[in-house]
């Protein structure tokens, strides 16, 4: 059986790599994805009867600001379609960290939120209601400390649920202003016509409205690889429609 692919996303300095190293041990090597020159780490681990291929994405605050790192992380989550996207958050700075979590969850519901450094947060007197956060976000949320090896088994159990499809969630749907929602409604049929229903049409429509040129470039490059017919032209219409 093929291993499940787990993409590790998170802000810089959230202990993402500590967790990655803990899970993969020394069985890792640097990866270099097609069409990108960003080097990152890949490794394998097993939990119960399943094998997982872990991919450590670049640490970013966002998927929108158009640095090479953020583009690489975004493109991996959209086009490589990992079985699970694990979003690692810093428990001591949740407000800033949840920004990235929301961005990932708008793309995919196949995600697990991992709140790392929970021991550090407790030391600082920060209480975190994991259940409430999970309810609001609609995906499993686990508090851990990679450094102190707290909560790792619970995290792996949740990763297993999402990877095997025992737990499924739709991408998080955030309601925007009427004007934006109307724009999304107009663009979604065009997006689906251009690239099919495989990718998150609502999210792509949102990015088109935002004038995200870098996403359009990535879409075109990706469609060139997988040979969608007439797709470029239709995406072109979408771009015009949002200006």
Residues that bind other proteins (CB under 8 A): 61-62, 64-66, 92-93, 95-96, 99
The closest alpha carbon to 82, from 49, 44, 108, 47, belongs to: 108
Structure tokens at 181: 């929602």
Question: In whole angstroms, how close is the CB of 96 to other proteins at the nearest point?
Answer: 5
Beta-carbon-side half-sphere exposure of residue 42 (alpha carbons within 13 Å): 12
Question: In whole angstroms, how close is the CB of 103 to other proteins at the nearest point?
Answer: 9
The C-alpha R_g of the chain, in whole angstroms, comes to 18
Question: In whole angstroms, how close is the CB of 41 to other proteins at the nearest point?
Answer: 24
Q: Which is nearer to other proteins, 67 or 193 (CB)?
A: 67
How far apart CA 219 and CA 229 sit, in angstroms, is 13
Question: In whole angstroms, how close is the CB of 215 to other proteins at the nearest point?
Answer: 12
Q: Which is nearer to other proteins, 91 or 219 (CB)?
A: 91
Helix (H, G, I), strand (E, B) or coil at 18: helix
Question: In whole angstroms, how close is the CB of 115 to other proteins at the nearest point?
Answer: 15
Q: Which is nearer to other proteins, 53 or 207 (CB)?
A: 207
Question: In whole angstroms, how close is the CB of 70 to other proteins at the nearest point?
Answer: 9
How far apart CA 183 and CA 213 sit, in angstroms, is 17
Tell me 136's DSSP state: H
Q: Which is nearer to other proteins, 175 or 229 (CB)?
A: 175
Q: How far apart are the first and last CA of the chain?
A: 47
The runs of H, that is alpha helices, within 88-149 are 94-107, 118-123, 130-137
Q: Which is nearer to other proteins, 97 or 158 (CB)?
A: 97
How far apart CA 76 and CA 41 sit, in angstroms, is 13
How far apart CA 84 and CA 4 sit, in angstroms, is 8
Q: Which is nearer to other proteins, 96 or 173 (CB)?
A: 96
Tell me 79's DSSP state: I
Q: Which is nearer to other proteins, 90 or 160 (CB)?
A: 90
Cβ atoms of 130 and 141 within 8 Å: the answer is yes
Question: In whole angstroms, how close is the CB of 207 to other proteins at the nearest point?
Answer: 11
């Amino acid at each position: 059986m093929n291993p499940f692919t787990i993409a590790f996303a998170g802000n810089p300095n959230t202990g993402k790599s500590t967790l990655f190293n803990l899970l993969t041990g020394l069985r890792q090597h640097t990866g270099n994805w097609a069409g990108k020159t960003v080097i990152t780490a890949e490794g394998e681990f097993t939990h119960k009867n399943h094998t997982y291929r872990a991919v450590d994405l670049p640490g970013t605050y966002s998927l929108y600001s158009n640095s090479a790192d953020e583009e690489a992380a975004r493109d991996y989550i959209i086009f490589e379609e990992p079985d699970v996207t694990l979003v690692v958050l810093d428990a001591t700075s949740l407000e800033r960290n949840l920004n990235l979590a929301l961005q990932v969850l708008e793309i995919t519901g196949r995600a697990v939120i991992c709140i790392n450094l929970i021991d550090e947060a407790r030391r600082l007197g920060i209480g975190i209601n994991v259940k409430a956060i999970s309810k609001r976000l609609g995906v499993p949320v686990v508090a851990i400390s990679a450094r102190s090896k707290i909560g790792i088994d619970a995290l792996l159990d949740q990763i297993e649920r999402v990877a095997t499809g025992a737990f499924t969630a739709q991408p998080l749907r955030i309601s925007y202003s009427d004007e934006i929602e109307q724009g999304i409604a107009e663009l979604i049929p065009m997006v689906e016509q251009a690239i099919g229903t495989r990718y998150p049409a609502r999210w792509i429509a949102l990015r088109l409205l935002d004038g995200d040129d870098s996403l359009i470039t990535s879409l075109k490059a990706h469609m060139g690889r997988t040979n969608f017919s007439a797709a470029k032209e239709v995406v072109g219409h979408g771009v015009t429609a949002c200006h």
